[in-house]
Structure 1
Amino acid sequence: MKKFLVTLFVAALAVTGAFAQGKVGEALAQADAEIAKAAEQFPKGTWIDSKWDALWVFGVNNTITLKDAKTGEVIYNFTPSTRKNFKIDVSENGLVISFRCEDTKRTYKFTKPVTLDTSITMDIDYDLEPNHYTVNMPFKN
C-alpha cells in the first residue's frame, strides 16, 4: 500500500510539474509574440544624422538603408545576410533594434523612446576605435 501511495504522490507531482511547465511555456510564447508585434510597429521612415550628412531609412520587414543625405546615394544596405545578432526588444527606454555588421566592423543600436517625440537615438560602437558614437536623429519623413 505504501508503494502505491508513493507512486500516486510522485505521479501527482509529475502532472503538477508538467502543468506548471506548460503555463510557463505559454507565458514565454506570449512574451515572444508581443515582442514580435512591437517589432512590426517599429517606426518606418527616414531619420537624419546631421553630423555625418547621413539618412537612415527604416522600411518594412526591418530593412535598414544608410544613404548620403545630399545625393541620396545608398552607402550601405543592412540586409539579413549582413546583420548578425539582430534583435528587437522592448526596454524601459523604448523600442530597441540592435545588430552587428561585420562588413562595417560596427555594432548598432537604435532606440525609439516611448514619448511623442519622433526622434530616434542611434548608438554605434566601432571595433577599430574605442569611442562610442551616440546621436539623437530627428525624423525627416
Structure 2
Amino acid sequence: MAPKGPPKKPKKEVDWASDEHFHQDRSMIYVEHTYECPIFTTKAEECGTFFAQRIPERKFQLVRNKYGKQVPREGAFEIGFSQNARTSVHEIWTGLDKGPPRRDKFPNYESLVPEVQKILKKFYPDKAVGVEDEEDEDRDDMM
C-alpha cells in the first residue's frame, strides 16, 4: 500500500520571486492535492509536464502543496497559475466539489490552455504596449 502523507524529504523551497531565481519567462503552476491516493500526485506531475510540452516557448515551475508545507484539504485537486513568480495566482481548476468518481476531480488539461493563454497575455503589457507605442509614434509622425 502506498504511504499516505507528504513525501519524506520535500524539495528545498526556492524563492522564485527573488532576484537570484526570478525569470520573467518562468510561469508558475501551483497544485494543491491530497495524499489519500497516489493518482493525485501523478496527476499533479502530469499537469506540469503537459504545459511544458504544450507551450514550449515558456518555462514552467510546478509547486505542489507549497513544497509539502501546506496540508492539503481532503479530496483536493486544485490548480493555480501565474505568469511568473511576481504576479498574482489565478485559480484555473478546482476538483474539490467534483466526484465521485475520482476521475472527475482531474481536468482535461487541454481545456485549461485557453485560460492559461489568457493569463499569459494579460501580463505581457510590455510586449503589447511596445508594439502599440511604435504604431502611435508612426501616426504622430504622419500628422
Q: What TM-score comes out, normalization by structure 2 length?
A: 0.29
Higher gyration radius (CA): 1
More helix by share: 2
More strand by share: 1
